[in-house]
Every structure is written in structure tokens, then in C-alpha cells.
């Protein structure tokens, strides 16, 4: 049996690999604290669960779902975009239901990338931006991201011959993993760059509802002309504690939505309608619950940042996302420090290098762990570093 050549260029999926290490320790009876994957520990709000139970009992939902998503879910997504961002999208041509935004991001490459094409990826970014391109035998060009440039991917340094061959540029703000946020001017410059070079701008907005200290994250589609060149990805996973449900949506450019829909129609049969019905309740009725979750995450963020500072780790306080991005101590690499914490403290964090070249020298800590376990994790880290 011979696997596709492209597969050999891909490491095991970052979070599957972390799960494997966690499970190996847990199977030896070791108490592991995971600050790894961003998997909310709080339950899905009860109203969403109740809607799902009703929808499962409705036999009309037992047959194939609509390929592009139910008209009702797409309408709810369009209404959410309007209410939340003042952005108008046509639910029938500019919105597509996804089986989690990860699959949409991966499939976008199939829709737009031919062998040898270039995908512009943030040099610290969600791994699927890169691996999706590699699976298409495409090439990636990492746009530099540094603390000095506020972790804003710098597309201005992309050489013209590379930009000409680029088909997609991925951005994501509020940013996973750095927690950085982007200004309207940055989005405008990115849109102008993509328009000039005829590139699809794919904006990953999975964390727009998880914001703190009065910050409101925008949609890139708020910017003038954005709908001509942008597709935006939303996930219900993080704001509504629905990671296991696999539900999200893409919206924006009708051409990009149609192309992604064509790939999906030929590879999956759409999301279970009952889950979409639960998703409608999330998008229309549960924003108060999201506010409560933001309060919990803000409290945990402050707790974690104070504790990390107390043990000498440098990190900024993010205005959004469920992640803290911290520098590793002198003399360590992302991998070595992650391994030390795993072996000596039984604490899992994500190595920054797993997100791309400029992630080296950092770790990501997720806030999806109760307060007392966060404090215990940092106490254990302190002992491991002594
Ligand atoms: C994360 O922790 O960054 C993501 O939730 C991981 C994933 O989507 O696989």
C-alpha cells in the first residue's frame, strides 16, 4: 500500500499527538493537567441541548440533510452576521453550513489550490492552513509574525512573483494562538493586497465572541469591498462550548462559497439537521451565556497571567481568545520546555513551534481548565523549573 506522496510531508496532527502523550501518562494512573487543546470544559448551554433533543425526535431530520446546510440555519447565520457585525450576507448564496470550521478550512484548499500554487499562511497559525495546502501538493509561504509587529502577519514582504502564484491568504484575528487582535486598517491593507493580486482572503474568525475588557472583535466583512475577495469562517465550538458537535459556517464571497460548496457536495453529505437546529438556538438565543463564559475566561486569564509572571514567564494579557501565549525560559526551545513540563510536571501545553516557524520560543496555554487546576498547573511548572 502506498500513501499519497503529499502525506509524507505532514507531521501527525498537533493536537492528536498531544492527546496521545496525555493518554500515555493517564494510562499509567498519572494525574495530568491539560492546558493543551482549546476544548471548553464548561457544558453546552442547556437551551441548545434541549433544542437538540427535540430535533432528534423529529423524524423529518432522520434523512439526508441539505448539502449546503438547512435554509433555517443559513438564515440564522445571516441574521447573526447582521446583528453582531452589521454585515449583510445572502443566506442562499453567501452562507454555507460546515461540519466544524476545520473541515471548511481544509476543503477550501481543494477548491482553490492546484499543484505548485502558493498559499500565504501566517508564520504562526492554525496548522490546517498549511497542511491543507500540502495535501493539494501546493506550496506555502509563511508571512512573518513577530512580537514587534503585534503578531500581525506581514504580507508586505511577500515577493511579487510569489504573490502572483498565490491563490489563498489565510488570516485569523482574534488570533489563535497568540491572542493578538487586528485593526480595521490592517484588514483594509490585507483586502487591498489580495485584490491587487487576485487572491482569496480566508479569514478565520472562530474567536470573535470570546473577548474581554470591553473589546468587540470585528468581522473582516465589515470592511469596504471585503465581500468581493473574502470568505470568513465561524465556529460554534468555542463560544457555545460545542466542540464535539462539529458545527460552523462560512460566509462572504458568493464565488468562494459556491466553490467550497461544490467540494463539500462531492465529499460529505452535510451536517445532521438536528445539530443545525441546535445551532440556530445558539446563534439566536445564547449570547448572554457567551457573555458569562467570557467573564469566566477573563478571570482565568488574569489568574494564569499573574501566576506565570510570578514564576518568571513573560506573557501579555490577551483581549480575546481562550489562550495565553508565553515565552519559554532562556536556554529552552518550545519543544524542550513542553517536554519538561509534560515529564516533570505532568502539565500539557502546546509548543509554539507547532504553529509554524515564528512560534519557536513560545508555548500556548489554554484557559479551558477550572481555576484551581490552573493554579495547580503553574505550581507544578514552578517545581519542574526549579
Ligand atoms: C485549538 O486548540 O487550537 C483547536 O481547537 C484545535 C483544533 O481545532 O483541532
Query: Quick check: 1 and 328 in contact, CB under 8 A?
Result: no
Q: How confident is the model at residue 291 (pLDDT cuts 50, 70, 90)?
A: very high
Residue nearest to atom 8 of ligand 1 (CA): 102
The alpha carbon dihedral of 218, 221, 226, 231 has a sign of positive
Counting residues of the chain whose pLDDT is more than 70, the rounded percentage is 100
Name the strands in the sheet holding 350-351, side by side, starting at the edge strand that comes first in the sequence: 323-327, 362-366, 350-351
Every domain range in the chain assigned CATH 3.40.640.10:
46-285
Calpha distance 22→151 (Å, rounded): 29
Read off the pLDDT of each residue in 12-17 and give the average, rounded to a whole number.
85
Ligand 1 lined by 10 (C-beta under 6 Å) = no
Task: State the chain's mean pLDDT as an integer.
Answer: 96
Ligand 1 lined by 103 (C-beta under 6 Å) = no
Q: How far is ligand 1, taken at its centre, from the CA of residue 102, in Å?
A: 9
CA of 37, closest atom in ligand 1: 2
Provide the CATH topology of domain 46-285. Answer: 3.40.640
Residue from 16, 102, 178 whose mutation best tests the ligand 1 pocket (most atoms within 8 A of CB)? 102
Ligand 1 lined by 264 (C-beta under 6 Å) = no
Ligand 1 lined by 37 (C-beta under 6 Å) = yes
What's the chain's Rg over C-alpha atoms? 20
Which CATH class, in words, describes the domain spanning 5-44+288-385?
alpha beta
171 - beta bridge partners? 203
> Of 17-21, 178-182, 361-365, which range is least confident?
17-21
Q: Over the stretch 108-131, which tens digit does the pLDDT of each residue have?
A: 999 999 999 999 999 999 999 999
Whether residue 82 has pLDDT greater than 90: yes
> What's residue 386's pLDDT?
85
Residues 6+ apart with CB under 8 A from 344: 383, 384
Every domain range in the chain assigned CATH 3.90.1150.10:
5-44+288-385
Q: How far is ligand 1, taken at its centre, from the CA of residue 22, in Å?
A: 16
Ligand 1 lined by 15 (C-beta under 6 Å) = yes
DSSP string, 55-73: HHH-GGGGSPPPTT--HHH
Residue nearest to atom 6 of ligand 1 (CA): 37
Q: How far is ligand 1, taken at its centre, from the CA of residue 39, in Å?
A: 7
Map 193-204 to HEC letters: HHHHHCCEEEEE
Amino acid at each position: 500500500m502506498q500513501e499519497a506522496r503529499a502525506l509524507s510531508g505532514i507531521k501527525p496532527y498537533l493536537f492528536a499527538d498531544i492527546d496521545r502523550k496525555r493518554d500515555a501518562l493517564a494510562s499509567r494512573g498519572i494525574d495530568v493537567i491539560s492546558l493543551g487543546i482549546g476544548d471548553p470544559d464548561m457544558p453546552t448551554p442547556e437551551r441548545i441541548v434541549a433544542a437538540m433533543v427535540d430535533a432528534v425526535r423529529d423524524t423529518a431530520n432522520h434523512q439526508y440533510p441539505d448539502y449546503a446546510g438547512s435554509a433555517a440555519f443559513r438564515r440564522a447565520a445571516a441574521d447573526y452576521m447582521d446583528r453582531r457585525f452589521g454585515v449583510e450576507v445572502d443566506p442562499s448564496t453567501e452562507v454555507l453550513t460546515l461540519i466544524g470550521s476545520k473541515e471548511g478550512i481544509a476543503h477550501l484548499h481543494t477548491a482553490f489550490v492546484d499543484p505548485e500554487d502558493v498559499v500565504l499562511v501566517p508564520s504562526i497559525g492554525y496548522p490546517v492552513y498549511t497542511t491543507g495546502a500540502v495535501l493539494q501538493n501546493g506550496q506555502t509561504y509563511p508571512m512573518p509574525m513577530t512580537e514587534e509587529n503585534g503578531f500581525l502577519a506581514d504580507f508586505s514582504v511577500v515577493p511579487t512573483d510569489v504573490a502572483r502564484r498565490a491563490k489563498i491568504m489565510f488570516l485569523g484575528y482574534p488570533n489563535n494562538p497568540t491572542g493578538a487582535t487586528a485593526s480595521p486598517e490592517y484588514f483594509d491593507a490585507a483586502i487591498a493586497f489580495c485584490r491587487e493580486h487576485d487572491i482569496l482572503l480566508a479569514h478565520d474568525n472562530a474567536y470573535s465572541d470570546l473577548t474581554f475588557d470591553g473589546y468587540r472583535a470585528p468581522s473582516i466583512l465589515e470592511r469596504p469591498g471585503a465581500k468581493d475577495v473574502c470568505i470568513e469562517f465561524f465556529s460554534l465550538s468555542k463560544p457555545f462550548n460545542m466542540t464535539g458537535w462539529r458545527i460552523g459556517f462560512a460566509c462572504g464571497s458568493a464565488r468562494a462559497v459556491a466553490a467550497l460548496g461544490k467540494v463539500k457536495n462531492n465529499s460529505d453529505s452535510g451536517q445532521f439537521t438536528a445539530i443545525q437546529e441546535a445551532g440556530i438556538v445558539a446563534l439566536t438565543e445564547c449570547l448572554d451565556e457567551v457573555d458569562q463564559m467570557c467573564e469566566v475566561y477573563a478571570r482565568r486569564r488574569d489568574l494564569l497571567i499573574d501566576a506565570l509572571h510570578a514564576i518568571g514567564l513573560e506573557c501579555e494579557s490577551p483581549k480575546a481568545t481562550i489562550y495565553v501565549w508565553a515565552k519559554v525560559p532562556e536556554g529552552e526551545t518550545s519543544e524542550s520546555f513542553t517536554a519538561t513540563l509534560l515529564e516533570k510536571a505532568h502539565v500539557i501545553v502546546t509548543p509554539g513551534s507547532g504553529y509554524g516557524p515564528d512560534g519557536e520560543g513560545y508555548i500556548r496555554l489554554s484557559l479551558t481548565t477550572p481555576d484551581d487546576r490552573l493554579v495547580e498547573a503553574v505550581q507544578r511548572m514552578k517545581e519542574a523549573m526549579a
